[in-house]
Amino acid sequence: MPPERAGAQASESSEKEIIVSQQQRPNDVSIDDIPLDVSNTQSGEVDSAEVPEEIESITRGLAGEHPPTNPLIVLKAARWWYIHGKGGTDPAFRWAIEWARHLATDTPSDVEHFNEFLEYLVTVGFGDEPHELR
């Protein structure tokens, strides 16, 4: 690599670091448009009012009759639930991963995960009864 290009890359890299540090607060970081509250990670306690609109929409879609068919969208919700919910045991995370696996492999999904997911959404405050979420 020519020396002048190496210098340009170093400058671009430090500019990116400055932009990122100016846009994010230490307790609110993100790699996309969905903020992650670092102080509230894997607390296990999620209130429906704390769920960003996009994540709520994807999550409700996963519970509905016509769930998302793009595994990347599903994984976006899975990531949020993993971080803000109960980690790898969070029912919303587990169902999102199960649905993404189904989309990627075209194999049947686990109904038990789905039922746990619907019950969990009721405890979070997305509905009063699991059947209302369908």
Looking at per-residue pLDDT, the higher value among 88 and 5 belongs to: 88
Q: Could you tell me which of 26, 25, 121, 123 has the C-alpha nearest to residue 77?
A: 121
Listed by start position, the domains of the chain span 1-25, 31-133
C-alpha dihedral (38, 75, 125, 112), degrees to nearest 10: -130
Averaged pLDDT for residues 125-130: 91
CA distances from 86 to 42, 48, 58, 81, 89 (A): 5, 15, 18, 8, 6
Give the confidence band of 46 by pLDDT, cuts at 50, 70, 90: confident
What are the percentages of helix, strand and coil residues in the chain, rounded to 5? 65, 5, 30
CA distance 123 to 86: 13
The answer, yes or no, to whether residue 26 has pLDDT greater than 80, is no
Which tens digit of pLDDT belongs to each residue from 83-95? 889 989 999 999 9
The answer, yes or no, to whether residue 14 has pLDDT greater than 50, is no
pTM assigned to the model: 0.71
Averaged pLDDT for residues 102-126: 94
CA distance 131 to 96: 18
